């Protein structure tokens, strides 16, 4: 990597080539992630000027309920990301449409099972000792946004189908159009017509379904003659092995997102919960916004690693990991500095209440440190998804987040009376420990072994609908790379 930075012939050229491939995926993926996340941020920003309690209610729904559901659906979709990416690398494009349909079946059933959670949000929050008034408003809002649950169920499988083939610019354009539509709807329904939470829910439902329908039309409209050949009953076969990888993916990501959910709930138990929840929700929104940049590199490294492992090129997979980590970290440093230098300014974007602004400013430097770690962490997760390590990373998440981060946060927040600052410090310690562990694991990985495992995974976890084939022959190329001949 030092040679990569300092120049030097073939290595520099190799770095430039890999960087180009990285940005071809990462740039549109970043715009897509920012646009889609901004739908929720825009909702929070408009509702923030309706009232503090309304803002707290929407923030809890977004960060607790939708964060939970988003994690489940994104996790289920990550199984598709592993299989589709490795299938592309191996040249098995005919399986992508089948994989996507299987994933849609699984996420659709999951959405059906999660619907009661949306209905009973209010009593659930009260059981978790959240403020009654906030819980009641959150319960009413959650019922109104149930259509978004089913939009998530279709969104992620379709996106992973496109992403695995590096077809991301159309996703970006559609997402930006959905964001523009959402802004217009919020302005009309909340500012002009003053529909309050009902208007915010209607705007979100319309925007998300516009996005999903537009993406689906692109997939089935004849642009993928090999990867999409129409609806097939094969999608209902071999679901068991697909569910296993989907569950492992969902557990990995849910443990990550539930960690932030737990932080919100812990803050809700502090004194003066409206101010504390508002402050930490503002920081969560900004943190997640910055996280969307890193998620572009998460997508890039996942596609590159899965493609190269599927094609049997272990060295290229490892090299892509280095380039993505370095690039994402460099950008993360910029955003870290930006937040650290505006700790008294950025809270005013979301609230005009002085108490909320003051409380949020106290978290500024801790937020900056979290943004720096989150410029590295998602790339490491992308490597895990590309390589199919979801279950192992889930175990790491349990240790770092739930056995270390949350207990420390509770101790500092409640016992030592540090409030939201103490809880955030605990979260930061959990993120740091997880990042260090994943870096150690990735740089000690046997990438040749992972390339061989990718071929095995496509035959077993992907289902048995592929055309019969002979066992792969392994050959050595002049540069020493071992490649699978499928």
Q: Give bridge partners of residue 474 from the DSSP assignment.
A: 484
HEC per residue, 332-353: HHHHHHHHHCCCCCHHHHCCCC
- Name the pLDDT band for 146 (thresholds 50, 70, 90): very high
Nearest to residue 454, comparing CAs of 161, 103, 88, 95? 88
Provide the CB-side half-sphere exposure for 458 (13 A, CA). Answer: 37
As given in the structure block, the two tokens for residue 167 are 């077809």
- Name the pLDDT band for 457 (thresholds 50, 70, 90): low
As given in the structure block, the two tokens for residue 290 are 């910055």
DSSP codes joined into one string, 142-160: HHHTHHHHHHHHHHHHHHH
Query: Above 50 in pLDDT, residue 419?
Result: yes
If DSSP codes are grouped into helix, strand and coil, which group holds residue 482? strand
Other beta carbons less than 10 A from residue 321's beta carbon: 24
pLDDT at 180: 96
Q: Do 186 and 43 form a contact (C-beta atoms < 8 A)?
A: yes
Mean pLDDT along residues 449-463: 67
Task: Report the alpha-carbon distance of residue 468 to residue 485 in Å, rounded.
Answer: 15
Q: Do 127 and 184 form a contact (C-beta atoms < 8 A)?
A: no
The CA angle 43-276-199, to the nearest 5 degrees, is: 20
- Name the pLDDT band for 5 (thresholds 50, 70, 90): very low
What are the structural domain ranges in the chain?
2-466
pLDDT at 484: 38
Count Cβ atoms within 10 A of the Cβ of residue 175 and give its class: 0-12 exposed, 13-18 middle, 19 or more buried.
buried
As given in the structure block, the two tokens for residue 144 are 């109104």
* Cβ-count burial 103-129 (b if 16+ within 10 Å, e if not): bbbbbeebbeebeeebeebbebbeeee
- Name the pLDDT band for 200 (thresholds 50, 70, 90): very high
Provide the CB-side half-sphere exposure for 279 (13 A, CA). Answer: 28
pLDDT at 465: 41
Angle between helices 364-373 and 273-310 (to 10 degrees): 10
Collect all residues with Cβ–Cβ distance below 8 Å to 368 and sequence separation of at least 6. Answer: 336, 337, 339, 340
Task: Report the alpha-carbon distance of residue 101 to residue 202 in Å, rounded.
Answer: 28
Q: What percent of the chain has pLDDT over 70?
A: 91
If DSSP codes are grouped into helix, strand and coil, which group holds residue 461? coil
pLDDT at 184: 96
Q: Do 121 and 264 form a contact (C-beta atoms < 8 A)?
A: no
pLDDT at 458: 64
């Amino acid at each position: 990597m030092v040679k990569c930075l300092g120049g030097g012939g073939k290595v520099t050229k190799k770095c430039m080539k890999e960087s180009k491939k990285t940005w071809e995926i990462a740039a549109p993926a970043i715009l897509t992630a920012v646009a889609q996340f901004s739908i929720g941020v825009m909702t929070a920003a408009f509702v923030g000027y309706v009232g503090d309690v309304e803002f707290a209610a929407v923030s809890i729904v977004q960060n607790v309920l939708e964060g939970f559901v988003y994690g489940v659906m994104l996790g289920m979709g990550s199984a598709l990301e592993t299989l589709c990416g490795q299938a592309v690398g191996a040249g098995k494009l005919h399986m992508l449409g089948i994989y996507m349909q299987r994933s849609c079946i699984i996420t659709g059933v999951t959405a059906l099972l999660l619907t009661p959670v949306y209905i009973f949000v209010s009593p659930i929050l009260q059981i978790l000792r959240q403020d009654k008034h906030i819980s009641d408003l959150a319960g009413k809002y959650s019922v109104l946004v149930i259509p978004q649950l089913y939009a998530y169920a279709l969104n992620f499988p379709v996106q992973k189908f496109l992403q695995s083939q590096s077809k991301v610019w159309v996703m970006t354009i559609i997402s930006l159009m959905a964001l523009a539509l959402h802004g217009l709807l919020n302005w009309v329904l909340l500012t002009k017509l003053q529909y309050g939470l009902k208007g915010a829910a209607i705007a979100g439902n319309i925007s998300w379904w516009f996005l999903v329908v537009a993406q689906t039309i692109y997939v089935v409209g004849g642009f993928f003659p090999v990867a999409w050949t129409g609806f097939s009953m094969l999608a209902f076969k071999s679901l068991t092995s697909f569910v296993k990888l989907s569950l492992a993916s969902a557990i990995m990501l849910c443990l990550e997102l539930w960690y932030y959910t737990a932080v919100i709930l812990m803050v809700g138990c502090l004194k003066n919960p409206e101010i504390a929840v508002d402050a930490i929700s503002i920081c969560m929104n900004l943190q997640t916004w910055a996280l969307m940049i890193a998620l572009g590199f998460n997508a890039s490294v996942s596609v590159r690693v899965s493609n190269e492992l599927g094609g049997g090129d272990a060295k290229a997979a490892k090299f892509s990991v280095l380039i993505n980590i370095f690039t994402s970290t460099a950008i993360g440093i910029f955003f870290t500095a930006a937040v650290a230098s505006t700790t008294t300014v950025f809270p005013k974007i979301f609230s005009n209440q002085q108490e909320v602004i003051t409380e949020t400013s106290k978290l500024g430097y801790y937020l900056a440190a979290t943004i720096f770690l989150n410029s590295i962490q998602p790339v490491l997760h992308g490597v895990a998804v590309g390589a199919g390590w979801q279950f192992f990373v889930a175990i790491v998440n349990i240790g770092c987040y739930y056995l270390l981060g949350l207990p420390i946060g509770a101790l500092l927040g409640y016992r030592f009376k540090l409030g939201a600052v103490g809880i955030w410090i605990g979260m930061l310690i959990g993120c740091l420990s997880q990042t260090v562990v994943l870096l150690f694991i990735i740089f000690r990985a046997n990438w040749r072994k992972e390339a061989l495992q990718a071929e095995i995974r496509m035959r077993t976890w992907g289902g048995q609908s592929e055309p019969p084939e002979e066992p792969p022959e392994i050959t050595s190329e002049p540069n020493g790379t071992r490649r699978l001949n499928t």
